[in-house]
Amino acid sequence: MHTQRMAVSVSVLALLTLAACGTEPGSGSGGDGGDTVQSDVPVTGVAWSVDSLTVDGKKTEAPEGSRLEFDPKGRAKVGFGCNHISADARVEGDRITFGKPVSTQMACDEKTEKAEKAALAAMDGEVTAKLSGEKLTLTTEGGDTFALSEEKPADLAGTRWAVTTLLSGETATSVPADLPKDRVPHLTFGEDGTVHGNSGCNSFRGKAEVKGSTITFGPPAGTRKMCPEAEMETERAVLAALDGPATYTIKGSTLTVTSKDGKGVGATATPATTAGTQEHG
């Protein structure tokens, strides 16, 4: 049986204007004209954990691991563990203007679907951003709100990373949601320059030397079982990303690993209590 996976294209035609609005102060005399610089709320490049959404007066608690990110290209991306939702996002002072959001169309559990519908409703039009310490609140003109918290980056080593996304150039594809629990690909990096985990069918172990923002993967050794095609397809994609030198970034609890040919994976830090389960399944 084939598992459908909906691909999300990461827009390269994103809005380019993220500059501060207002007027630059003049360098000459006569500086009492009220010239000011209104800086943008610093939301870009930060991993925001979604705490809750309130739409039409109804508050929805976000599933654990939900997050929102504004990238430097003017794109907002939000995920609740199932579909990928994205929209153009222009930041001007304390106002953020969303373009019409788009989403993949995978079936999700009831709680996740509820959160996704609330997000699609809130991410449409202009919102006001209010930053208070590590808390960010986005409020629509109609009073709907996103409650967010800044995520601190997880440690690369010692964290169990569950692979959620397969990357190929500018296309991101979700890992099939119906994979058996012991076949969900995951990675754990060691302080000794190693990596081990499961690639979608087989368990593996190999070298992973970290220097700066680069990880150099050595040839992996592991089991050689055959699995259904959906699992083998996932495994091939994961192993293609973990081959030779690759760059990595960590934003909050999200890890992205991308090789030179554009193959890569996106992964999410999982609770330490699951780190030892199904490691060799």
Report residue 186's pLDDT band, with 50, 70 and 90 as the boundaries: very high
φ and ψ of 51, to 5 deg: -85, -50
Higher pLDDT, 279 or 115: 115
Between residues 182 and 35, the one the model is more confident about = 182
Quick one: average pLDDT of 195-207? Answer: 95
pLDDT above 60: residue 155: yes
Residue 31 burial (10 A CB sphere; 0-12, 13-18, 19+): exposed
Per-residue pLDDT at 85 exceeds 80? yes
Better pLDDT: 27 or 104: 104
The DSSP element (H or E) to which 251 belongs, if any, is strand 244-251
**What residues form DSSP beta bridges with 51?**
none
Percent of the chain at pLDDT > 70 equals 83
- The answer to whether the pTM exceeds 0.85 is no
Strand partners, 270: 160
Of 99-113, 185-199, 200-214, the range with the lowest mean pLDDT is 99-113
Is pLDDT larger for residue 43 or for residue 189? 189
Cα angle value 200/189/69 (rounded, 5°): 80
pLDDT score of 96: 94
38 pLDDT band, cuts 50/70/90, is low
What is the token pair recorded at 238? 């994961």
The predicted structure's pLDDT at residue 203: 94
Cβ count within 10 A of residue 142: 11
User: What pLDDT, on a 0 to 100 scale, did the predictor assign at position 232?
Assistant: 93
Q: Among residues of the chain, what percentage have pLDDT more than 90?
A: 49
